[in-house]
Chain A
Amino acid sequence: MARRTALLFATLALGAVVGTGSSLSYNEEVLPSTLNPLYASSMSDHRSQELVFDRLYFHDAINNDLKSRVVQKFEMVDDGRGVKLTLVPGIKWHDGKPLTAKDVCFTVDAMLDPKTASPVAEGYRAVLAGCEAQGSQVAKIKFTQVFHNPLERLGFAVLPEAGFTSTAIAPDLEFAAHPIGTGPFKGSKGRRAVTFDVFANTHHAPTIAQLRLNDAGDPQLQVRSIINNGSQGIIAVPPLLRPELSASDDVALKTYDLRSWWFVAVNTNKGPLKDKRVRQALNVSLDRSELRKLAIGTIAGDQTSPCEFISGPFVQASPYYNRAVPVTERSDVKKAEALLTSAGLTKVGGNWSSNGQPVQLNIGILAPLNNEAEDLLSQIGNQLSAVGFGRQDQKINEDEWNRRVKAGQANEYDLVVGKWSFGVGDDVNDLFHTRAGREGKLNIFNYSNAQVDAILKEYDAARTDKAAQDAYHKLHATLAEELPYLFLWKLDTRSAWRAEVRNNLISPYYYFTEIDGWKYGR
């Protein structure tokens, strides 16, 4: 308690220091791992980078119009295989140098450079074929094929040529902490916070002088801090704390359109978990209804809950969700026991053993998720313990999650709890394809299944939307049987901002796209 109080005062004091001019302080889920847009790996990264950089094209947060702040006009060329972009004159980088067509082409070239080991760039390699600067203001971008919506494909952030020594861009350069962009704010990443200072430019006119991003920390403290105006925003408010904020006239809860779903990834290459029946037993050992009640606060039958169970790798509202696959809502211990017994496990003294060894599950969770869904790690552990599994719980920090878990190198874990967030696309191939070359880049436990790989290829090769939908319906059904993941739920994200923060339109996914219009006033 004393520690909490001390932390509270520290947080409030920080707010006092920051609160000069029109400065706003807000709490992120985690500190961004990088401010280099090529290496964005978390939603915090994407949101932060949106403050510092301009994407060539973006969608209006309100009417979804495709817009650009840096392109004055465009012209399709080469029978639709290229586009000539004329830049808005007078735009400056944060170091004062002018934005030119060479910067646009440098960005394209950097993404096309195979030595740029960026997952973001890799996606663009299927779209972009090259770029040619024609004078200082015109860039001609070439596409790999004719697209019916070419400008929609140009959603990348523009990088400064002068900020790099070559087009082979590494993730760990100084640029990642102190980037140079053309966005509304100049960002600087420290160890405990990131500051964004307004930068005067021809194409941005924000009225807020400074934003300070703080690591999330204790959610209770965040709530106290925003109510007392020690900070002005919280990006993701845990569901259990939302009623407290919605009762306040001084704080407004804001919807953040982000399709997110939660899972428990299962290490299918380890011990008894190699056996599908054991994974199925784990699946029916979880009482999701109870977990949701304890961690999210949802009462059974609440149709307005922000949290909805899923049985596969899509949210239920998605057309890719296979509605014929039922969700597993309640636990079924008898079924779990039958499955474990059929898999050759034995129960001794209330504990399951495999080949004479007690089954001990090493369970990890991406740390901030344990705040968003309060104490979810313990709740899952408790349920599995009650069925007869030994368990060890660990919180995984963001760095380790990005560096090891996503890279398929955290083999010491048997289960990890995480979530994935999506924009308008629902492509899950990287999560489940066998890791090989460019495939399976986010396959957490290097799950490999030839049948699944074939379905994913089917999706990739689909010529029609219906064929793609059919492939993913098949994938959903297969994964619900194979269970490389135990699928939990989708959970809506809500932000909270002080009422004095006005005009604060929140863009889907990128969040701060409309930051220029935000005001701080009463």
Chain B
Amino acid sequence: MSRPSCSPPHGSAARRSALSHRWLGLALGLASLLPLVGCGGADEVAPPVEVVAAPAALPADLVSAAWPVRLAADAPRAPFEAHPGWGLLFSRKLDEALPAFAAAPALPVGLARVHLDIAAVYRNAALLGANATRHVYGTDRLPQDPPQVDFLMADALAVLGDCAGAKAKLEALAPQGELSARAAALSAWSAGPACPADLSVFSTAPFATLTEAPTPGLSPTVPVAAPYRFALPDGASDLEGAELGLLVELARWHEAAARAAVPDAGGIIDLHVAPSLLPGEARAAVGEAPVLSDEWLFGSFHMSGADVAFAAAARGDGLAAVEAWKGRSLYAAALAPAVQGGKLVPELVLDQAAAMSRALRDGMGAAAGGPQDFHRMFADVAVVGLLRAGALVADAAGEPRDAGILRVNAFERSAGPSSDPVFLLGLAAWDAGNRSPVRAQEIIHLQLPRFPALGAARYPLDALHLRLGRTAAPSAPVH
């Protein structure tokens, strides 16, 4: 029996980085606040463990091509430490990163990346709102719900790409006032050829609310719109709802701003957008792996251009994408050994993630002349990226529960720079789709200060919580 392992004191054995810029230094400074871990000297005996198959080795060339390894040494990383925009993007403070990248000298790729992330946040929020609406006014609808909730349902079904469903809901509705024009527009769209692939209906009258043209570096002014109010049968209160189209409009606005920031990078942007497209939105075909500059990759949840392409392909092709990309993409290579019996096995993905983390840290140590404290943060970003890619594969392979396991594990590892609002909103949307509002509400609540328009998704989510909470099995507060 082996002696139990004993972690070295964090930050004592590791070499301190000779970091010149303060943002990464600050992140590391926080890490150094960790108390030292003592190592008990007792001869305790650990329980015997079941030995499982060792994770497969990862191709060395893909590991060494990953941005954490290439940027592990101080010199290649220096440009990213010199501009505050990168630090804010790495810390996932997207609202602050936007003006930082816009300030002279503006960095177009940095701007594009932030706009793309914000676009993905809003797309995921729209999905969240639509999923919650679909449950609360669909499967969990109650007789006392006013008939106008059919409009909210139609709105949600449009976001979800269900043209026939949206049309049917609108046909059953006799809208009045403001709702009437919107219902007519949505009805025409849902019956036309643009549905579901083109959601520009939400960026045109009578839905459109944003007045500024998409401009790199700007956040559009979002008018404070009064929520929909539908009288409830008790006569004492109104049911409130919000227009989910606002979130779609914002997503499209930021995507357009990203395209305007780097006009010649349309193909790259298509790949970045693909994983978070709404269910019915048109998807560009995935071709060769793009060769991306480090500006596209530093701090990213993709290790290389091939990973960006793999993630885009995985959304539609699932396991076939793993097979097709395993020779080029580190993530696909890491996932390939976890495909067994025709499915991606979450437990093996977790093993592969741990192995990839070790390989990247070894690679970073070699590149930097020894381990440095931030190497772990970089590796953690990669681990979360891999688990997210795995979830895309499992979803496309028709294994939603396994995808959920990978999402939950990615969430467990989402801390500091690994905590990505894009992913968190995606998780919240997935939870809402599962009629599970609690974690989703926490996520929305924490992200609202940075993205106030997310409030639109909060209405149906709150409604779902209220309804499920009041009709759940009896329980009392405990502790």
Set B42, B408, B415, B467: member contacting A228, Cβ < 8 A: B42
**Are A316 and B445 closer than 8 Å at their CB atoms?**
yes
**Are A229 and B472 closer than 8 Å at their CB atoms?**
no
- Interface residue B251 (Cβ < 8 Å from any Cβ of A): no
Q: Which B residues are CB-close (under 8 A) to A124? A: 474
**Chain A 288-309, CB within 8 Å of chain B: the 1/0 string?**
0000000000000001100000
**Are B42 and A20 closer than 8 Å at their CB atoms?**
no
Residues 81-117 (chain B) with a chain A CB within 8 angstroms: none
| Stretch from A69-77, A134-142, A241-249 forming part of the interface with B | A241-249
**Are A228 and B4 closer than 8 Å at their CB atoms?**
yes
A202: shortest Cβ distance to chain B, in Å? 22
Give the CA-CA distance A510 to B22 in the complex, in Å. 44
Residues 426-449 (chain A) with a chain B CB within 8 angstroms: 426-428, 430-431, 441-442
Set B44, B47, B462, B477: member contacting A520, Cβ < 8 A: B47
**Are A425 and B479 closer than 8 Å at their CB atoms?**
no
Q: Which B residues are CB-close (under 8 A) to A428? A: 477
**Are B469 and A16 closer than 8 Å at their CB atoms?**
no
Give the CA-CA distance A464 to B466 in the complex, in Å. 10
Residues 477-522 (chain A) with a chain B CB within 8 angstroms: 499-500, 502-503, 505, 508, 519-522
Q: Which A residues are CB-close (under 8 A) to B478? A: 40-43, 45-46, 420-421
- Interface residue B291 (Cβ < 8 Å from any Cβ of A): no
A24: shortest Cβ distance to chain B, in Å? 7
Give the CA-CA distance A319 to B469 in the complex, in Å. 11
**Are B477 and A303 closer than 8 Å at their CB atoms?**
no
**Are A319 and B51 closer than 8 Å at their CB atoms?**
no
Set B236, B415, B449, B475: member contacting A246, Cβ < 8 A: B415
Residues 1-36 (chain B) with a chain A CB within 8 angstroms: 4-7, 10, 31, 33-35
**Are A15 and B472 closer than 8 Å at their CB atoms?**
no
Q: Which A residues are CB-close (under 8 A) to B46? A: 15, 19, 229
Q: Which A residues are CB-close (under 8 A) to B462? A: 319, 469
Q: Which A residues are CB-close (under 8 A) to B375? A: none
**Are A12 and B140 closer than 8 Å at their CB atoms?**
no
Q: Which B residues are CB-close (under 8 A) to A120? A: 474, 476
**Are B142 and A148 closer than 8 Å at their CB atoms?**
yes
B142: shortest Cβ distance to chain A, in Å? 7
**Are B476 and A123 closer than 8 Å at their CB atoms?**
yes
- Interface residue B366 (Cβ < 8 Å from any Cβ of A): no
**Are B144 and A463 closer than 8 Å at their CB atoms?**
yes
**Are A441 and B47 closer than 8 Å at their CB atoms?**
no
Which single residue of chain B is at the shortest CB-CB distance from A155?
B473
**Are B479 and A147 closer than 8 Å at their CB atoms?**
no
- Interface residue A177 (Cβ < 8 Å from any Cβ of B): no
- Interface residue A115 (Cβ < 8 Å from any Cβ of B): no
Which single residue of chain B is at the shortest CB-CB distance from A40?
B478
Q: Which B residues are CB-close (under 8 A) to A23? A: 47
**Are A425 and B470 closer than 8 Å at their CB atoms?**
yes
- Interface residue B434 (Cβ < 8 Å from any Cβ of A): yes
Which single residue of chain A is at the shortest CB-CB distance from B6?
A228
| Stretch from B67-75, B266-274, B328-336, B435-443 forming part of the interface with A | B435-443
**Are B479 and A418 closer than 8 Å at their CB atoms?**
yes
Number of interface residues of A (CB under 8 A): 105
Set B38, B347, B467: member contacting A502, Cβ < 8 A: B347
**Are B44 and A243 closer than 8 Å at their CB atoms?**
no
- Given A148-B142, A257-B439, A503-B347, A19:B47 Cβ within 8 A: yes
**Are A259 and B44 closer than 8 Å at their CB atoms?**
no
- Interface residue A468 (Cβ < 8 Å from any Cβ of B): yes
Which single residue of chain A is at the shortest CB-CB distance from B10?
A247
**Are A502 and B350 closer than 8 Å at their CB atoms?**
yes
- Given A62-B405, A123-B475, A505-B405, A522:B47 Cβ within 8 A: no
Interface bin, chain B = 35 or more
Which single residue of chain A is at the shortest CB-CB distance from B41?
A228
- Interface residue A465 (Cβ < 8 Å from any Cβ of B): yes
Give the CA-CA distance A259 to B446 in the complex, in Å. 15
- Interface residue B240 (Cβ < 8 Å from any Cβ of A): yes
**Are A16 and B408 closer than 8 Å at their CB atoms?**
no
- Interface residue A95 (Cβ < 8 Å from any Cβ of B): no
A14: shortest Cβ distance to chain B, in Å? 9
**Chain B 35-79, CB within 8 Å of chain A: the 1/0 string?**
101111010111111111000000000000000000000000000
Residues 95-134 (chain A) with a chain B CB within 8 angstroms: 119-120, 123-124, 126-127
Give the CA-CA distance A156 to B415 in the complex, in Å. 36
Set A64, A149, A247, A465: member contacting B37, Cβ < 8 A: A247
**Are B479 and A421 closer than 8 Å at their CB atoms?**
yes
Give the CA-CA distance A248 to B9 in the complex, in Å. 9
Q: Which B residues are CB-close (under 8 A) to A427? A: 469, 475-477
Set A149, A241, A320, A502: member contacting B140, Cβ < 8 A: A149
Set B7, B431, B471: member contacting A149, Cβ < 8 A: B471
Give the CA-CA distance A422 to B400 in the complex, in Å. 27
Set A45, A149, A425: member contacting B469, Cβ < 8 A: A425
**Are A467 and B412 closer than 8 Å at their CB atoms?**
no
Give the CA-CA distance A63 to B234 in the complex, in Å. 35
**Are A467 and B234 closer than 8 Å at their CB atoms?**
yes
**Are A521 and B50 closer than 8 Å at their CB atoms?**
yes
- Interface residue A341 (Cβ < 8 Å from any Cβ of B): no
**Are B419 and A304 closer than 8 Å at their CB atoms?**
yes
**Are B42 and A230 closer than 8 Å at their CB atoms?**
yes
Residues 316-358 (chain B) with a chain A CB within 8 angstroms: 346-347, 350, 354
**Are B412 and A253 closer than 8 Å at their CB atoms?**
yes
**Are B51 and A522 closer than 8 Å at their CB atoms?**
yes
- Interface residue B237 (Cβ < 8 Å from any Cβ of A): yes
- Interface residue A419 (Cβ < 8 Å from any Cβ of B): yes
Set B44, B50, B405: member contacting A12, Cβ < 8 A: B44
Give the CA-CA distance A353 to B467 in the complex, in Å. 49
Q: Which B residues are CB-close (under 8 A) to A119? A: 476
Q: Which A residues are CB-close (under 8 A) to B445? A: 316-317
- Interface residue A385 (Cβ < 8 Å from any Cβ of B): no
**Chain B 408-441, CB within 8 Å of chain A: the 1/0 string?**
1001100110010000000000010011111101
Which single residue of chain B is at the shortest CB-CB distance from A490?
B442
Which single residue of chain B is at the shortest CB-CB distance from A111?
B474
Give the CA-CA distance A154 to B52 in the complex, in Å. 39
Give the CA-CA distance A124 to B404 in the complex, in Å. 32
Which single residue of chain B is at the shortest CB-CB distance from A459?
B470
Give the CA-CA distance A152 to B469 in the complex, in Å. 11
Set A18, A152, A431, A521: member contacting B52, Cβ < 8 A: A521
A397: shortest Cβ distance to chain B, in Å? 14
**Are B50 and A520 closer than 8 Å at their CB atoms?**
yes
- Interface residue B468 (Cβ < 8 Å from any Cβ of A): yes
Give the CA-CA distance A45 to B476 in the complex, in Å. 13
Top 5 A-B residue pairs of the complex, sorted by shortest distance between their CB atoms? A123-B474, A155-B473, A521-B50, A19-B47, A319-B462
A and B contact pairs by CB, cutoff 8 A, 27 listed: A20-B48, A21-B48, A22-B50, A59-B436, A63-B401, A65-B434, A152-B472, A225-B40, A227-B7, A227-B40, A228-B6, A241-B35, A247-B7, A248-B10, A248-B37, A252-B412, A255-B411, A315-B442, A424-B465, A424-B472, A426-B469, A427-B476, A442-B477, A468-B470, A520-B47, A521-B50, A521-B51
Add 16 more A-B contacts to A252-B412, A500-B49 (CB < 8 A). A8-B40, A16-B45, A19-B46, A62-B405, A65-B434, A229-B47, A243-B33, A244-B35, A304-B419, A317-B441, A318-B441, A366-B479, A422-B475, A425-B475, A465-B463, A520-B50
